[in-house]
Homo-oligomer: A and B are copies of this chain.
Amino acid sequence: MKRTGTLAPSGRFMPMFAPSRPQDRPVFDASFQASFVELLAWRRDVRRFRRDEIPEALLGSLLDLTALAPSVGNCQPTRWVRVDDPGRRTAITANFETANKAALGTYDGERAQTYARLKLEGLREAPVHLAVFCDEGTPQGHGLGVLTMPQTRRYSAVCALHTFWLAARTHGLGVGWVSILDPASIAATLDIPADWSFIAYLCVGWPQEEHLAPELEREGWQARTAHSLLRR
């Protein structure tokens, strides 16, 4: 695992490492730009995992990199919770099953049949489970940028998980984001401080298969479309 000078060999992020004067940034050449587009194109929401473990050093390095994600006021509000306890994993799987059954009940006919066929999580197979929270009460950042838009703290946590996702993908790992969950039950199951908001539940592991097209597109649920742009 290569690291920039901003990460210490211990894996701790070293904020004082960065000089305060302007510098020459690295030039990202056409080859890197093209590979970065490939990375975006091959990022998938993975639900079919092999059961092989993830090396701890790799997982630690990926979490280290999330300290480089943008955060409002530099408040770094993301709280990662790694869920290993089998009882807690079972409770979260049951949480999903209840929420998923309720969701299925909102569809009729052919759409309901398609929904029932979709595999929407890899909770039983994924070797690593990461719950992502936002610490709404963090003093870090001294409140900068959140007076009118406190939700920007939560959006910062989303940038951190998206950073993790892309970095994991550069190593061939897959991430699956599960949102078919009751957030209040997740917080209770994981015994989380009251002022942490639940953002996402991530299954992490090695994908069984690689696909360029998302599963929801392959199964006829929803095709991808172009970006939307208005002019004002």
Q: Residues of A with Cβ closer than 8 Å to B?
A: 1-4, 6, 12-13, 15-16, 18-20, 22-28, 30, 32-43, 45, 63-70, 72-76, 78-85, 88, 99, 102-103, 106-107, 111, 115, 118, 120, 131, 135, 140-149, 151-152, 154-155, 158-160, 162-163, 165-167, 169-172, 177, 179-183, 190-191, 199-200, 209-214, 216-218, 221-232
Contact = CB atoms under 8 A, between A and B. Distances in A.
A72 B179 contact: yes
A227 B71 CA distance: 12
Given A22-B209, A103-B147, A230-B81, A37 B4 contact: yes
27 contacts: A4-B38, A6-B212, A12-B226, A15-B224, A22-B211, A25-B42, A33-B170, A36-B166, A43-B70, A74-B223, A76-B224, A79-B228, A80-B230, A82-B232, A85-B232, A102-B148, A103-B144, A107-B142, A115-B144, A141-B216, A144-B216, A144-B221, A149-B183, A155-B200, A158-B159, A160-B227, A162-B162
Q: How many copies does the complex hold?
A: 2
Given A73-B216, A147-B103, A225-B140, A167 B2 contact: no
B37 A3 contact: yes
Contact of A40 (B152, B167, B218, B230): B167
A142 B16 CA distance: 47
A3 B131 CA distance: 34
Contacts of A149: 179-181, 183
Contacts of A106: 143, 147
Contact of A33 (B2, B144, B146, B228): B2
A36 B38 contact: no
Nearest to A181: B148
A182 B213 CA distance: 38
B179 A102 contact: no
A82 B230 contact: yes
Given A15-B217, A227-B78, A36 B33 contact: no
A107 B45 CA distance: 43
Nearest to A207: B25
Given A23-B210, A74-B214, A162-B163, 6 more contacts: A28-B169, A78-B228, A80-B227, A115-B144, A140-B225, A148-B180
